[in-house]
Chains A and B, each alone.
Chain A
Amino acid sequence: MCVLQETKFSKFTSFLFVLPYLVVFVAFLLIPLIFGAYISFHDWDLLSSTHKFVGFGNYAKLFDPSTYFHSVFMNGLWNTIKFVIFSVPILIVGGLLLALLVQHLPDKLKGIFRSIFFISYAISVSVIAVLWLWLLDTNSGLFNHLLAKLGAAPVQWLTSMPYAWISIVAATVWWTVGFNMIIYINALNEVPDELYEAGSVDGATPWQKFWSITLPSIRPVMVFTIVTSTIASFNIYGQPYLMTRGGPGTSTKVLLMEIVDQAFVQRQLGIASAMAIVMAIIMIVISIIQFRLTRNNEGNEA
């Protein structure tokens, strides 16, 4: 009897611990999401007093190649996917390399370099953009100045392809790679030293140790960083908005820029919500696939 009461009580207390998160989750994520879905079924002009129900009309427009909405949506989506493909591998590998580098530094320097690599993550995107704009400007930027000193031709970092993407990816990596690095450093610290000792006894080279001990040990953390980096890269907005305005032409205009345009410049909330919902679905599907793939691998190995 007593035991049962205790579990009830402990269930209640655990619920209390979850409650603050739950309230915030419902109020700021679940309700907006449902409301967003509701809006996406309407012709919702922000300034009109009536909002006509159109069913899947907004979604149909997104997938009808003859409409304007189709072209902006597809252009935005494709550019976003490009950015994800360019940035995620660098964020993952780069983060890991930096973590390994910091790990192998003398203890005195570890803290300093960890802070140096991480500190850019704490800066806001507008500052990042201004900084990189000054570095990358075609005529007055530092990079082209250095190139000129070396006798090389200036590069149009922000106004030609593929350099615009390279610049945006570089700025993003410089900005956020420190976050992944910190996570990897923690993961590397978790790898038991005995494994490496055993490896040394068996005569394993450093490369073999990395491949057979380090990587398998940090796999769960890698899955985590891959998924979070993908989601973060999907949500790209500030860097192209501030650095290229989506140019040259519309070749770096990403989906969130289009959605914000539709919602707040053109005040078409219905179509903007439909775009946002489709984008969310794509992100969810990709995350599920990523989890599935990595889980299958683990299963095979076991």
Chain B
Amino acid sequence: MKKLSVAGLVLMLICGMLAGCSWQQTSATGEDKNNVKLWVPFSGPDGPKFEEIVRSYNKSQKKYNVDLQIIPSSEYYKMVNLTLSSKNNLPDLMIMHADRIVDYATKDQLLKTSILTKSKKISAKDYHPKALQASKVNGSTYGIPLDIHPLMFYWNKDLFKKAGLDPNKPPKNAQEFREYAKKLTVPEKSQYGFAVPTVGTQPFLFQTILAQKGGKLYSDGHFNYTSKEALNTLNFERDLIYKDKVSPSGLAIDGDLKLFLQGKNAMHFNGPWMLAQFEDSGMNYGVAPVPQIGEKQQKVWANSHNFVIPKKKEGEKLGAITDFLNYVGNHGMAWAESGQAPASKAVYTSKAFQKLNQQPKVAESFDFAEYPPQVENWGQVSEFLNQEINLVLLGKKDSKKALKDAQRKAEQYLE
């Protein structure tokens, strides 16, 4: 990447656009209509699980064929943007995160999924309402949810035992959480009760506690980065590091995760996608929905993978898409094996699913899932806040001043 020159950047754009002027002039013939090109960003260990679903679908019937393309997750939205911009070689169906849908729906790039649910083969009732709600922009639904991935709570059972705590009882509220964290901290062994992340998963944790305190980052067209709840949340996290000293200070990227994997961090927040890695590590860990740290209500940060249909000039292949999505809704168990919990009721209420270790606990969190606010370019707008939180947790800035600066930057950005 060091060699990525300015010209190279522009070059990538051109390639995307020039690709538009060439080949791919096929019109939708009968044969072609039944072939669905599907894009997914599952380049991690979840990829083979998803491939399994597609393969079994293609085997299950003869009429349609799904042509799966796995795009590296770091390149995924870059590809999506460039392809939507050139309108060429567009996939027929693709995966999109719930908090991104608003960006594309407001630019009229996506088809409303009400057209699918009309066919009766897929019904909105088949999915968890929270996931459907999250893909709704201005009253219309734009996605069929694959899963809901809330932040999860992981703990090291061996360390719990050593500290005299019940290894099968995770903390339930702020008081217990703090108390456990203190008991689990052994400075001589550089063992910590709860290493507070400073980047990476930090925004998920912050938004979880904030929502539990009843705070909102954005409401009625305004940012509330300086709210009382936001300040309390930030101070709570900061105090864990500098007052209670249950966390090391100055953690680097994934520092909390590394400590957890090394058995030097007793409690850890991360997504359900970590399952494979924790299993492989061979450690004795427990998993549960997040404790309710905020005093007001149980909430947890969550996001979803959705199937969305990009608008195409030559028309969309609705018959094939409906058939495939119907199949995924009923045969999504393979996806659960990646650690995720599918949002389709047929799967997450099934007996086979409930027998799994972590996944039913992920599904338990569905009802109190809190999605990021629906703001265009949320990734960027929230970045202002994340950068300031980072400074506070690294002990470089006063929390009140930091939140004020984040608010100012976000407002300036929207101008």
* B window 293-315: CB within 8 A of A: none
* CA gap between A140 and B254 in the complex, in Å: 11
Say whether A265 contacts B248, CB under 8 Å.
Answer: no
| B258 partner, pick from A139, A246, A263, beta carbons under 8 A | A139
Q: Quick one: closest B residue to A128, CB to CB? A: B2
Quick check: is A138 within 8 A (CB to CB) of the other chain?
Answer: yes
* B window 388-415: CB within 8 A of A: 388, 390-391, 394, 396-397, 409, 412-413, 415
Collect the chain B residues with CB atoms within 8 Å of residue A235's CB: 2-6
* CA gap between A276 and B409 in the complex, in Å: 22
* CA gap between A115 and B259 in the complex, in Å: 35
| B253 partner, pick from A156, A244, A264, beta carbons under 8 A | A244
How many chain A residues sit at the interface, stated as a range, is 35 or more
Quick check: is B209 within 8 A (CB to CB) of the other chain?
Answer: no
Say whether B1 contacts A241, CB under 8 Å.
Answer: yes
Say whether B259 contacts A140, CB under 8 Å.
Answer: yes
Quick check: is B73 within 8 A (CB to CB) of the other chain?
Answer: no
- Residue among A33, A267, A269 with max Cβ neighbours from chain B (10 Å): A267
Say whether A46 contacts B377, CB under 8 Å.
Answer: no
Number of A-B contacts (CB under 8 A): 159
Say whether B85 contacts A140, CB under 8 Å.
Answer: no
* CA gap between A280 and B249 in the complex, in Å: 39
What is the distance, in angstroms, from B192's C-beta to the closest C-beta of chain A?
8
What is the distance, in angstroms, from A73's C-beta to the closest C-beta of chain B?
13
What is the distance, in angstroms, from A228's C-beta to the closest C-beta of chain B?
11
Say whether B249 contacts A156, CB under 8 Å.
Answer: yes
What is the distance, in angstroms, from B392's C-beta to the closest C-beta of chain A?
10
What is the distance, in angstroms, from A33's C-beta to the closest C-beta of chain B?
6
Say whether A263 contacts B9, CB under 8 Å.
Answer: yes
Quick check: is A133 within 8 A (CB to CB) of the other chain?
Answer: yes
Binds A, one of B75-83, B113-121, B176-184, B358-366: B75-83
Say whether B255 contacts A48, CB under 8 Å.
Answer: no
| A267 partner, pick from B5, B10, B81, B190, beta carbons under 8 A | B81
Q: Quick one: closest B residue to A29, CB to CB? A: B7
What is the distance, in angstroms, from B24's C-beta to the closest C-beta of chain A?
19
Collect the chain B residues with CB atoms within 8 Å of residue A248's CB: 390-391, 394, 396
| B415 partner, pick from A68, A156, A243, beta carbons under 8 A | A68
- Residue among A133, A137, A237, A249 with max Cβ neighbours from chain B (10 Å): A249
Say whether A138 contacts B390, CB under 8 Å.
Answer: no
Collect the chain B residues with CB atoms within 8 Å of residue A280's CB: 6-7
* CA gap between A241 and B82 in the complex, in Å: 22
What is the distance, in angstroms, from B304's C-beta to the closest C-beta of chain A?
20
Assuming the contacts A47-B84, A160-B250, A245-B199, asked whether A260 and B2 have C-beta atoms less than 8 A apart, the reply is: no
Say whether B258 contacts A237, CB under 8 Å.
Answer: no
Quick check: is B251 within 8 A (CB to CB) of the other chain?
Answer: yes
Say whether B250 contacts A159, CB under 8 Å.
Answer: yes
| A35 partner, pick from B14, B250, B258, beta carbons under 8 A | B14
Name 14 A/B residue pairs within 8 A (Cβ), A-sorted: A32-B10, A36-B6, A45-B107, A47-B84, A156-B394, A158-B252, A160-B396, A172-B2, A236-B2, A239-B2, A247-B390, A248-B396, A261-B380, A280-B7
> A interface vs B, CB < 8 Å?
28-29, 31-33, 35-36, 39, 45-48, 67-68, 71, 125-126, 133, 136-141, 156-160, 172, 176, 232, 235-239, 241, 243-250, 256, 259-261, 263-267, 269, 272-273, 276-277, 279-280, 283
12 new A-B pairs (CB below 8 Å) besides A31-B14, A35-B13, A238-B4?
Answer: A45-B107, A138-B250, A139-B259, A159-B394, A160-B250, A237-B1, A238-B2, A244-B253, A259-B6, A276-B9, A277-B6, A283-B6
> B interface vs A, CB < 8 Å?
1-7, 9-11, 13-14, 77-78, 81-82, 84-85, 103-104, 107, 109, 190, 195, 198-200, 248-255, 258-259, 262, 264, 377, 379-380, 387-388, 390-391, 394, 396-397, 409, 412-413, 415
